[in-house]
Structure 1
Amino acid sequence: MKFCAVVVIAPDDLEQAAIEKAKKAGASGITILTGRGIGDENRKTFLGLTFEGSQSVLLMVVAKQLSQPILKAMRDVLVDDGNSRGIAFSMGIDHLTGIEMSQVMKFEQHMHDLDEEN
């Protein structure tokens, strides 16, 4: 079975929606990190203090076939009326260790369920 890493960077207020959509699309485990980002716009200041909104970074290792459905689900969360509030991407994984067989079985069951739906 081939695997992909799916990375989602979203504002904190979209974290729960992204998690729910990713799970519904087949992600069985998600690592959540807190991050800060710098875009091309100027940083906002208030009384001389710089405001930087925090972001959630969601990391998922999934079966390669699940990466596209998860990315499509993330588009539903992150893009509103043509405006994007985050980014999501996938990367292939050449080598992997430490994944439990129960996770592999969940991926295989999810893929089987998707095949039966179609």
Structure 2
Amino acid sequence: MTEVMAIVAIVERGRADYVVKRAKKAGAQGATILYGRGTGESEAKKFLNVHIESSKEIILILTEKEKCRQIFEEIVEAGKLKEPGTGIIFTFPISNLVGLHHRENFSLD
């Protein structure tokens, strides 16, 4: 059975489409984009009295473990995630997965 990994990236609003396009070139077969709003920055807004965009886009990608590192690195580069304040990315293994059996080239056997 193929090990499946989840990649979760939280990027600045408006960057997800570009990041996903680059992830697909690196081997991702698809992605889900969600919209969110951070809360950790609210204290900085109040303290500095400067508007900080707290809206974020959350990218979820499921991929085979063998492709995970390449896709991860591409997302880091595309999202400029090594620069402070641009977002975060993390991975974790998936278990009890149902619903991908209909996808071509995504075999869990």
Higher RCO structure, 1 or 2 (CA under 8 Å, sep 6+): 2
C-alpha spacing 1:91/1:73, structure 2 compared with 1 (3 Å): same
Deviates more, 1:22-31 or 1:50-59: 50-59
- Deviation of 1:84 after TM superposition, in Å, equals 4.9
Q: Percent identity?
A: 29
Matches of 2:21 and 2:107, distance apart in 1: 17
State TM-score, norm by structure 2: 0.78
Runs of 5+ in structure 1 lacking a partner? 109-118
Runs of 5+ in structure 2 lacking a partner? none
State TM-score, norm by structure 1: 0.72
Aligned equivalent of 1:93 = 94
| Residues 36-95 of structure 1: per-residue CA shift (max 9 Å, x gap) | 11335612657xxx7643110011111111111111001112327843501111100122
Verify: 1:66 aligned to 2:45, yes or no. Answer: no
4+ runs deviating over 6 angstroms: none
The structure in which a higher percent of residues are helix is: 1
What are the equivalent positions in structure 2 for 1:16-95 lying under 5 Å apart? 16-39=17-40, 42-43=44-45, 52-79=53-80, 82-95=83-96
C-alpha spacing 1:81/1:33, structure 2 compared with 1 (3 Å): closer
- Deviation of 1:102 after TM superposition, in Å, equals 2.7
Matches of 2:73 and 2:83, distance apart in 1: 15
- Deviation of 1:27 after TM superposition, in Å, equals 1.2
CA RMSD of aligned residues (A): 2.7
- Deviation of 1:12 after TM superposition, in Å, equals 1.3
The structure in which a higher percent of residues are strand is: 1
Larger Rg: 1
Matches of 2:76 and 2:106, distance apart in 1: 24
